[in-house]
Amino acid sequence: MGILIDRSTRILVQGITGNQGSFHAGQMVAYGTQVVAGTSPGKGGSVHHGVPVFDRVRDAVEETGASASVMFVPAPFAKDAAFEALAAGIKLLVMVPEHVPVQDTIAILEYARYQGALVLGPNTFGLITAGQAKMGIPPNHIFQPGPIGIVARSGTLSYEIADALTRAGLGQTTAVGMGGDPVAGQTFNEILHRFAQDPQTELVVMVGEIGGSAEEEAASFIQQMNKPVVAYLAGKAAPVGKRMGHAGAIIERGRGTLESKRQALEAAGATVVEMPWDVVPAVRRRLA
């Protein structure tokens, strides 16, 4: 079953004719995703990867019934593109671009709440419901259907862990990228809640990192979950005040440290592992 998207979700690609949008839209189509429309101003009326292209999101939604959109537009135009999608009735917006100004993200999230829509990102790899559909940039070949949910701040680590799970015969329901920026559309709590309600998800792997308090805040919900959680936290060797990759991966004055997150998660009943390759053995133990 998975969460958020499945094979019936009608998906729009904003920026479908750009380099990144074109490549990843092609991969989405190849995976079996129901990509029903794309937008690219000035190229309306054309067809790309067998997908009709429109100048405006509203036209695409009215013509095709798209309800979800994945954005491949440059960061300076992300706010306008997001507002256009939300105003047109898109209810799930996946924002792949990085370097979106924080003020723009805050405005987008406020408008999304007003419109009753859900936003992933920005700076997210997107999401994939294994064997059914994907939005964003996850590699097609490493995800296989199974009982494990994944929620993560980091894309690369998620791919590594998903590949290890698949090789071990432990497929996935859905893998969700929250995004690596300090302000993002979803929290661990919100995604964990969805996994808790999904009957096919038996265990959740949580991929966190230093910086912020999202993992500590998730601990209160994990304590109430009826499903086990295995967590890997990246950034063990990061010095205080040093940004490591993601804009949100920075610790300041003792806040957002790996140790504070580990203690909170373990106190809530989660299994916290030291290295990515420890995830598979831990999953097997918790499912036994």
Where do the structural domains in the chain lie, given as residue ranges?
11-120, 139-287
| 221 in Cβ contact with 189 (< 8 Å) | yes
| 11-120 and 139-287 in the same fold | yes
**pTM of the shown model:** 0.92
Give backbone dihedrals phi and psi of 92, rounded to 5 degrees, phi first: -135, 115
Alpha helices in the chain (DSSP H): 19-30, 57-64, 78-87, 102-115, 155-167, 188-197, 214-222, 258-267, 279-287
Residues 240 and 251: their CA atoms lie apart, in Å, by 5
pLDDT band with cut points at 50, 70 and 90 for residue 249: very low
Rounded to 5°, angle at Cα 104 from 14 and 64: 25
Tens of pLDDT, residues 141-190: 999 999 999 999 888 899 999 999 999 999 999 999 999 888 999 999 99
CB neighbourhood size of 163 (10 A): 16
Give backbone dihedrals phi and psi of 217, rounded to 5 degrees, phi first: -65, -30
CATH second-level architecture of 139-287? Answer: 3-Layer(aba) Sandwich (3.40)
Residues with active-site annotation: 246
Tens of pLDDT, residues 89-128: 999 999 999 999 999 999 999 999 999 999 999 999 999 9
Residues 164 and 262: their CA atoms lie apart, in Å, by 22
Domain 11-120 has CATH 1.10.287.610: no
